[in-house]
Chains A and B, each alone.
Chain A
């Protein structure tokens, strides 16, 4: 039975004329969101019908040497016009500029002005998490929207179960089997999330770099099924966790990975303790330890599993875990399995933490009042939904007084923060050894997969034996290890300590083998596999340094720019994660759609309950070093327009706002201005 079209589900029916995507100028008069949206949706359908034939995949040339930006034309699709500005740089490179990256993967940006150093000014207070409130009518309409959605949902369930019982079979007891999921549990998924399924699980292809190729899809039946049309759309990617832009199919790291596949094959075929360890594991673990400045490190093949399988080996019954209320699901998973008690404190609120610490230490274990065996504080370096940085200096102070152990999950901050990319301790100029356990992932900044956990040698050796992964999980595969080593080495730079300019904040730390070295410092050549030949730009650390500064510039530019435009954002400007608050649930779908259907399509991530609080639905930008300043301009211009259409600008008062043109021209001034 065919469904009726609804305004919530975007439907595309084929029709005749070819429609070119609207340019930004023609959009401004259309102030009503609905009129804009319906026009856009129709137009898009027509466009899709016209280009039904899939753009053909050109044969990829597999030569590993990339010279100049001319590679783009070889690599890319049949579409040769660069109208959306994604394929070729807006400004063609000058004769002395040579870029060795593919512009669609890693944007070309030669302007030294667009750089910034990510670091905390000593002495400056670290601001906690500030929840900026929108006007009351926004809050009220958000609540009303949810109320309406829930009411309609329940009415549809009530009627539907009686009219179309077949469609609800999986929710009702059937033939003596309980339903797979109860209709109550799945209510949110079916009645709220499904309405905006267009925003989620978008299939893509190719490198998740500066741009990404989305596989076009449509849904004929209110998002129950998604049908791929076969077409593909290249979009500006401000969604992937690709902070340093190492998601690349070309370049020095990819060449090293290719070499490793030839040398090592694809897998080591076993768990770490049962024959699945190869020499690359030893090499990478030593390098990771050197990178984060710890004695030793242990690598796990999955980021989620790093927390969920190693935390249980750190704490057991009789121990207490103090956890930030917004910690990631993997941490909760691990803590729950461990059997330790858990207490939570308000997100990044040091006063709440200290109050809790005083309470738990003085009270001891519940009922028995015996002292806790140990207390482990688990915080994230950078929170993936809020963009807040942990207040590490304050926590280190508290640690001295309250003697808890500190576990910092650097899933998002490693590589992305600090003048040397060493994570949140580098950002705050804190000795990593004052932290007990450092955990992080390779998915984000290193363009690889998996995670690590670092600490002193005894701790890591114990985790090797007692962590669940060592005995039971597959080990990390050689290509992934190589990507980690190559990207990490290019951030650090390869060379002897004297060959790279010493940093003012360097400290001397001791490695597992008793050797003393400068942290943060370069990677000694002896720590890399002998066969790995990084190109000079990577090996000198220049490329890595550039990427770090580009990321810091881009993050700061976007975060401060959005504030200047009048949006409500969360988090620190140093964070590459920039959440922009939308509040109303209906706006998520529209924001996503409006960004994607622009002349330069932009893919964004929208997040809502249960990942965030019910009212604070948001769109989350993940800035990358791969973006050029022009890309951020594009995003800001798009946000400015969409923000007007969707009434999103409720931040700073109108008089303090900048126009988007002013913003684009004064970007460097904005970024370099002290807070």
Chain B
């Protein structure tokens, strides 16, 4: 039966076989007609005769090559082992089932209060602005402004305004393009030159926004595989820059150079051990140039004056360390540029360290000079590299011309009149002297800092950690951070580094009063819990509201709670301004100038009474 089946099927398949043999013959003749086909045939025949296994191997190789070529280059989820096959109907059901979360949750009551307490200035800002009063057409009485950055008192300067207006008439407002494509205006080049000259660096590059500057400088240099040592309490922008750079980041304790050195030594030890393990074979191949491994670039990223608490880094010691261990230093001077040093050139001037010793100085044009933008100064190669590799420089329109011109003029004013900075420093000292007398607060900021962070002593305000975490010690010596007590109360673990700091700064730059109070905060305090922050912020807001009622504008330092790593302590951020004496070569300054010493003292006494009031209410 089977044979009949087979014969019948063979007969029915007859035309198919005929067609197949015919097409095979045509294909064969076509193949022979191809030039060079004989060679292939000869090769296959002879290789097959020698070793049939080889033909098979070659065939597999060819199939494999074709498969590789046809495979898509990018791995999609389909190739992953977790992919589940669904049919169209199932997908439709899944799509219909899926219910996304809302794009945003409605604001909570606290969030709404947070927005409601944002002060809105009516008209020009300056040392004594007026505020918008909700539901009222007329603004408030002038208040003493300790909220906004105006260290040099140049906000409202008539001279800068007139220069800005003449620039507007010549250049228009926007630059309408990135620097690469006709957005590089001559006034940008002038400002870059002015900044570089002011700092004593070789060159500088301008960015359109201060926040994006350091977040862009870091990824321009630090690449995957590079090593970055960063301060645990570095600013938000630095952290974002590090995140995007994909470099390996190691953290050291806040403003503690001894901890930095420890980390550096640890890394050096590891490197040596790894080199030994690799042995002589790899070094031999490396010498012969057979293996080429990219050398790891090493960077230190820190701030001059910290945005979070106003502490100041010991620059000479830092430079010494970086040179010893061969690191490059990215120093963010957003807070210190324009506020410290005899003429406001920043930390390099204060410590008398040449700017060329710091590889990249990042600074804010917006904060100190009262216009907009940021900069990075360094060697020619450093700046040239950023022009084509820093995302915020390449992909963003350049700074409006009038802001650049105003900044150039501000630099000219600063370098011509050191009295501006003198008055600022005097005001900062006066503010510190007044604030130090207030009970219940502590100030982690450096005495020279023009931005003063006022934190609460948790124990004074009756803060107790919730009973659940008994393990965390309550604050034993909250007075430790107090600058006046810093020299007396040096914890044993720190005494070595602190003493070395004071010697180095004493020998170099006669700044004995500063050196003693560089106190690492994070070692003393456990990171504050969310409850503690909320508790402190509510008190601080109450104090700020109270002060505003008495005619002094202060603001709580705003943080992105939940998005920060190592949550910073809650604080009031007082920005001292100076520059009363900014007249002279540039004519009278109606509307310009900062606060006088008397006004600062008055503001501090208002703050004191506000704190006292809130304390009596709370306790």
Contacts and interface: CB of A to CB of B under 8 A. Distances in A.
Interface in A300-343: 301-305, 308-309, 312, 314, 328-330, 333, 336-337
B148 A474 contact: no
Nearest to B219: A333
A176 B399 CA distance: 37
A11 interface: no
B281 interface: no
B54 interface: no
A41 B103 CA distance: 58
A573 interface: no
A372 interface: yes
B173 A257 contact: yes
A72 interface: no
Interface string A209-238: 100101100000000000000000000010
Interface stretch (A455-463, A564-572, A579-587): A455-463
Interface string A173-198: 10111111110111001000100000
B65 interface: no
Nearest to A406: B103
B319 interface: no
Interface string B126-170: 100000100000000000010111100001110011001110111
Given A362-B90, A462-B111, A279 B184 contact: no
B272 interface: no
B115 interface: yes
Interface size class on chain A is 35 or more
Contacts of B472: none
Contacts of A239: 177, 181-182
Contacts of B399: 449
Interface residues of B, number: 124
A472 B236 contact: yes
Contacts of B125: 264-265, 267-270, 275-276, 278
A254 B86 CA distance: 60
Interface in A391-447: 401-405, 436-437, 441-444, 446-447
Contacts of B155: 265-267, 269
Contact of A473 (B147, B211, B243, B397): B211
A247 B591 CA distance: 30
Given A261-B164, A363-B84, A466-B563, A274 B395 contact: no
B385 A362 contact: no
B107 A458 contact: yes
A268 B148 contact: yes
A391 B65 CA distance: 39
Contact of A461 (B94, B111, B235): B111
A369 B84 contact: yes
Interface stretch (A82-90, A476-484, A488-496, A553-561): A476-484
A263 B119 CA distance: 19
Nearest to B396: A304
A303 B185 contact: no
Contact of B296 (A178, A272, A605): A178
A247 B118 contact: no
Given A266-B371, A274-B573, A182 B82 contact: no
Nearest to A332: B391
B209 A366 contact: no
A200 interface: yes
A164 interface: no
A569 B32 CA distance: 45
A304 B390 CA distance: 12
Interface centre among B132, B175, B370 (most CB of A within 10 A): B175
Interface in B87-103: 90-91, 94-95, 98-103
A455 B102 CA distance: 13
Nearest to A480: B400
Contacts of A186: 385
A205 interface: yes
B142 to A, nearest CB: 14
Given A178-B295, A240-B177, A263-B124, A603 B118 contact: no
B172 interface: yes
Given A203-B186, A264-B124, A270 B326 contact: no
A469 B366 CA distance: 14
B120 interface: yes
Contacts of B124: 263-265, 278, 478
A403 B123 contact: no
B297 interface: yes
Interface in A237-265: 237, 239-242, 246-250, 253-254, 257-258, 261-265
A468 B211 contact: yes
B340 to A, nearest CB: 18
Contact of B180 (A200, A437, A468): A200
A22 to B, nearest CB: 24
A374 interface: yes
Contact of B164 (A203, A215, A375, A479): A479
A60 interface: yes
B561 to A, nearest CB: 9
Given A200-B181, A447-B172, A266 B164 contact: yes
A601 interface: no
A374 B105 CA distance: 12
B508 interface: no
B372 interface: yes
Contacts of B160: 265-266
Contacts of B388: 189, 193
Contacts of A189: 388
Contacts of B553: 275
A60 B166 contact: yes
A208 interface: yes
Contact of A302 (B120, B208, B298, B389): B208
Contact of B121 (A179, A207, A268, A465): A268
A603 B591 CA distance: 43
Interface centre among B112, B122, B184, B560 (most CB of A within 10 A): B560
Interface string A48-87: 0000000000001010000000000000000000000000
Given A258-B165, A270-B149, A462 B189 contact: no
Interface string B397-414: 101101100100000000
Contact of B169 (A250, A309, A358, A403): A250
Contacts of B122: 278-279
Contact of B86 (A237, A362, A459, A462): A362
B240 interface: yes
Nearest to A202: B182
A464 interface: yes
Contacts of A405: 100, 103
B168 A249 contact: yes
A371 interface: yes
Given A302-B209, A402-B95, A472-B211, A466 B560 contact: yes
B324 to A, nearest CB: 10
Given A304-B395, A474-B366, A603-B182, A273 B118 contact: yes
12 contacts: A181-B385, A263-B123, A265-B156, A274-B558, A277-B119, A301-B209, A361-B98, A362-B95, A366-B77, A366-B82, A367-B82, A466-B560
10 closest residue pairs by CB, A with B: A275-B147, A270-B148, A302-B209, A178-B297, A474-B366, A304-B396, A473-B211, A471-B558, A443-B397, A240-B176
Given A205-B186, A270-B148, A468-B236, 13 more contacts: A60-B169, A181-B221, A205-B185, A261-B165, A261-B402, A266-B155, A278-B121, A329-B394, A367-B82, A402-B95, A403-B99, A444-B176, A474-B211
Interface of B: 77-78, 80, 82-84, 86, 90-91, 94-95, 98-107, 111-112, 114-115, 118-126, 132, 145, 147-150, 155-157, 160-161, 164-166, 168-177, 179-187, 189, 208-212, 215, 221, 223, 226, 235-237, 240, 243-244, 294-298, 307, 326, 328, 364, 366-367, 370-372, 381-382, 385, 387-389, 391-392, 394-397, 399-400, 402-403, 406, 553, 555, 557-560, 563, 573, 575, 591
